[in-house]
Amino acid sequence: MKTDVDEVLQAVTAARRRAEEIARRLCLETSTLPCFEAYVLNIIMLQMASDMRRGRRVDVGRYASVVERKLSSRKRTVLLTEICRLYCEELQKEKLRIIADVGCGLGLNLNITKSYVADSEILLGIDKNLHFLKMLKGMVAGAEAILADASALPLKDESIDMIFCTGVVHELPNLNAIDEIKRVLKNGGKALLVDTALRSIPSQVLDITRRLRVRLGKEPEMPYTLKQLFSKIEALGMHMEKSLVFWRAFIIGIVAIVASKTSVAKIKLSAGAHSEKLSFH
C-alpha cells in the first residue's frame, strides 16, 4: 500500500494534535510541556515511519493509544518529566548558536530545542538512516540533515555548542561516538546523553555478546553499564556535571548525563562546583 503525500501531511498534523492533547493531560509541569509534547510526538511518528516503510496503513489513533498506555503509569510520567526538566535547564542556561543531534532519528532533540532556544542559528540532524532524515526535514523546520555515522562525524573540531545523543550509544559496537562528540564540541560546550544502561553486569560478558551479534550480521543493540559510560566520559577529560538514573528493574535503567568539554585549568577551578548525581528507583 502506497501512502501519498497529502495523506502523510494530514497524518503528521493529526499526530501533532494528539501529542499535544496527551502531553497536556499527563505533563506535571508547565515549563516542561514543550519537551513532553516533543517526546510524545516522537513516539507516535516513529510508529508512523515504521508503517510507512512497510507500506502499511497509517493509523494515528492507534499510535496515540499505544503512547497513552506506555505513559499510563505515574512512574513513567515522572521519569519523562525529570528528563524534560534537565533539557529545559540546560537549553536556557546560555546562548547556543550551533546545536547537533547525533543519531537524530526524526529530530526529537531538535524539536525540543526549537521550543526553548528561539535564536539558535544552526540545527544539525545527523543519522545514518536516510528515511528518517527525509522525514526530519518535514518535522523540524530549518534543520540541516546530514547522513553520517555517529562514530565518524563529518564536522570540524570544536565547532558545536551543544550535542544531543538519545537512544544511540547502546546500538553501537563501541564507545568511539563519545570521542567524536568531545572532538566536535567547542571548549565549554556540552553534551546531553540519554540511553539505557545496565547496573553491574561484567563488561567482558557484554563485549563478547556485542561482538557475537556483529559477527552474525546483527546490530550490537547491547546497553553499556553505568560504570562504562561514566568511565569513558571521565577518561576523555570531560567534566560530568549532572547525571540522573532511573532504574526500571534491578539491572537495567535509563540514564541522562550532562557532560561539558572543559580545559584542564577550568576543571581545577570548578572542582568545588556542584555536580549532581541522582538515582530514582
The Cα–Cα gap between 169 and 254 comes to 12
Please report where in the chains the cell 551479534 appears, as a residue. Answer: 213
Of 59-63, 72-76, 138-142, give the range with the top mean pLDDT.
59-63
pLDDT on residue 275: 40
Confidence of residue 272 (pLDDT cuts 50, 70, 90): very low
Confidence of residue 274 (pLDDT cuts 50, 70, 90): very low
Q: Provide the residue ranges of all domains of the chain, joining segments of one domain with +.
A: 5-72, 76-280
| Among the ranges given (12-16, 72-76, 130-134, 261-265), the one the predictor scored with the smallest mean pLDDT | 261-265
- Note the CATH architecture for domain 76-280: 3-Layer(aba) Sandwich (3.40)
Helix (H) or strand (E) holding 280: strand 276-280
The Cα–Cα gap between 118 and 112 comes to 11
pLDDT tens for each residue of 39-61 = 999 999 999 888 888 888 889 99
pLDDT on residue 96: 87
Helix (H) or strand (E) holding 12: helix 5-26
pLDDT tens for each residue of 105-135 = 999 999 999 888 877 679 999 999 998 898 8
pTM of the predicted model as reported, rounded to 2 decimal places: 0.86
Grid coordinates representing 223?
A: 546497553
Confidence of residue 2 (pLDDT cuts 50, 70, 90): very low
DSSP state, residue 252: E
pLDDT tens for each residue of 235-249 = 999 999 999 999 887
Confidence of residue 209 (pLDDT cuts 50, 70, 90): confident
pLDDT on residue 7: 67
Helices and strands (H and E) in the chain: how many: 10, 9
